[in-house]
């Protein structure tokens, strides 16, 4: 008589998008899945990201979409091809979430928040038999067993395959604290140092800027080194934040100055011609308002960063086209939307398995890649979570 084979088991550590996607793929293949999350609830960072509208992905052609991942593109391309924008949209709609695409190509749930999607996703995982545990903090390994500090006691979990999806090192209060890095390094896994990505810029404003705190800077072009953005930014008490700045924060992190073109739809010559018009007794502020239609925020930014203004129209046009904003630094890493750094490509095989620990895979922001906001971050996490889970299934099948 043949003894029935026990179902395979999987352990997923981390309850963010990458971990949840890995759990979905593994449970769908018939594995008994245990999901461990350190925080009191699952998907905290996803819920926070959805407070201002959950940007799931971007409806964009394959090549420009891939290019957003910069030097990680060759590595992530197969994963993004397997689960890119179209697949993300179909997946969300399969969870009962109608979507819409904005004028910029960004894709959002009609509900404009993460909670309905997360509830539907967790219900589907529960129906598939995924056993989720919260307040289980992973502390490392004891041989083949994963160790967890839990409210009751230290737990030991041994599984046929393990997916690590513990996030990066930003927003520690939501679970992405990077404390896993020295744990995996003990196994000889190479981890690139963390650095802030999609971060706000610190600027020491004068008191003149205080009345404009919270106002948007619109219709400009930001540049820091090779990174350019036409997105909006917000004048904060401590500097500049928002999508327009996040998109160029890598350049700032690498030491490039922050330049802003206050009139990106006019070339320098057209700008000079307008500035050369007689201004009579009008102040420069009024002249700029009349001939360039600069709004109060742009005029204040110009006066803050370039006072006294050049009197020569050509010189002033040059300043307006490349106004240097005196950035002191980026905001601290724990305030960044995401982080660069993490487990390096060399530490993983093509299936995202740790070379130092066969049967253990990594996904999401634990990996050494970065991308701008705008749907790229979430798509990257979902795609790598799916890829790692499929890699785990392939590895198991090779051992049967």
pLDDT digits (tens, 9 = 90+) for 275-308: 888 888 777 778 888 888 889 999 999 999 998 9
pLDDT digits (tens, 9 = 90+) for 132-175: 999 999 999 999 999 999 999 999 999 999 999 999 999 888 98
Residue 3 has pLDDT above 60, yes or no: no
- The whole-chain average pLDDT of the chain stands at 94
Q: Rank 198-202, 266-270, 280-284 by mean pLDDT and report only the highest.
A: 198-202
**How far apart, in whole angstroms, are the C-alpha atoms of residue 372 and residue 336?**
12
Residue 196 has pLDDT above 80, yes or no: yes
Task: Count CB-CB contacts under 10 A for residue 376.
Answer: 24
For the domain made up of 9-196+334-397, the CATH class stated in words is alpha beta
Residue with tokens 């905290």: 44
Residue 2 has pLDDT above 70, yes or no: no
Q: What is the pTM of this model?
A: 0.93
> What share of the chain has pLDDT > 90, as a percent?
88
Q: For position 1, what pLDDT does the model report? A: 37
Q: Where in the chain is the domain with CATH 3.50.50.60?
A: 9-196+334-397
Token couple for 152? 């009751």
Q: For position 265, what pLDDT does the model report? A: 94
**How far apart, in whole angstroms, are the C-alpha atoms of residue 113 and residue 382?**
17
Q: Which residues contact 114 (CB under 8 A, 6 or more apart)?
A: 43, 46, 47, 49, 50, 51, 54
**How far apart, in whole angstroms, are the C-alpha atoms of residue 296 and residue 278?**
21
Q: Which of 348, 268, 260 is nearest to 313 (CA)?
A: 268
Q: For position 5, what pLDDT does the model report? A: 60
pLDDT-derived band at 49, boundaries 50, 70, 90: confident
Q: For position 284, what pLDDT does the model report? A: 74
- The predicted model gives 56-66 an average pLDDT of 96
pLDDT digits (tens, 9 = 90+) for 100-109: 999 999 999 9
């Amino acid at each position: 008589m043949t003894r029935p084979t026990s179902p395979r088991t999987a352990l997923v550590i981390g309850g963010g998008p990458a971990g949840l996607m890995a759990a979905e793929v593994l449970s769908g293949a018939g594995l008994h899945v245990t999901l461990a999350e350190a925080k009191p609830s699952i998907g905290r960072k996803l819920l926070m990201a959805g407070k201002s509208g959950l940007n799931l992905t971007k409806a964009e052609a394959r090549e420009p979409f891939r290019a957003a991942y910069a030097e990680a593109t060759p590595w992530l391309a197969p994963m993004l091809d397997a689960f890119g924008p179209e697949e993300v949209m179909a997946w969300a709609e399969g969870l009962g979430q109608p979507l819409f695409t904005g004028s910029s190509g960004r894709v959002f749930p009609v509900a404009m928040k993460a909670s309905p999607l997360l509830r539907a996703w967790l219900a589907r995982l529960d129906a598939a038999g995924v056993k989720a545990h919260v307040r289980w903090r992973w502390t490392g390994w004891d041989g083949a067993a994963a160790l967890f500090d839990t409210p009751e006691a230290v737990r030991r979990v041994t599984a046929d395959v393990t997916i690590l999806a513990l996030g990066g090192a930003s927003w520690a209060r939501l679970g992405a604290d990077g404390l896993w890095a020295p744990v995996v390094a003990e196994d000889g896994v190479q981890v690139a140092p963390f650095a802030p990505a999609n971060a706000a810029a610190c600027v020491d404003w004068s008191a003149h800027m205080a009345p404009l705190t919270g106002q948007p800077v619109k219709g400009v072009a930001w540049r820091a080194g090779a990174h350019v953005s036409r997105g909006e930014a917000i004048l904060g008490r401590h500097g500049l934040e928002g999508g327009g700045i996040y998109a160029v924060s890598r350049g700032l992190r690498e030491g490039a100055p922050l330049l802003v073109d206050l009139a990106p739809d006019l070339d320098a010559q057209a700008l000079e011609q307008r500035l050369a018009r007689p201004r009579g007794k009008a102040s420069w502020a009024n002249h700029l308002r009349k001939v360039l239609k600069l709004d109060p925020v742009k005029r204040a930014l110009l006066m803050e960063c370039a006072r006294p203004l050049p009197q020569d129209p050509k010189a002033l046009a040059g300043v307006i086209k490349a106004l240097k904003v005196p950035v002191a630094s980026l905001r601290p890493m724990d305030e960044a939307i995401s982080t660069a750094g993490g487990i390096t490509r060399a530490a993983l095989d093509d299936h995202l398995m740790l070379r130092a620990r066969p049967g253990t895979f990594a996904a999401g922001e634990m990996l050494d890649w970065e991308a701008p906001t705008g749907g790229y971050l979430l798509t990257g996490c979902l795609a790598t979570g799916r890829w790692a889970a499929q890699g785990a299934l392939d590895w198991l099948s090779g051992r049967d």
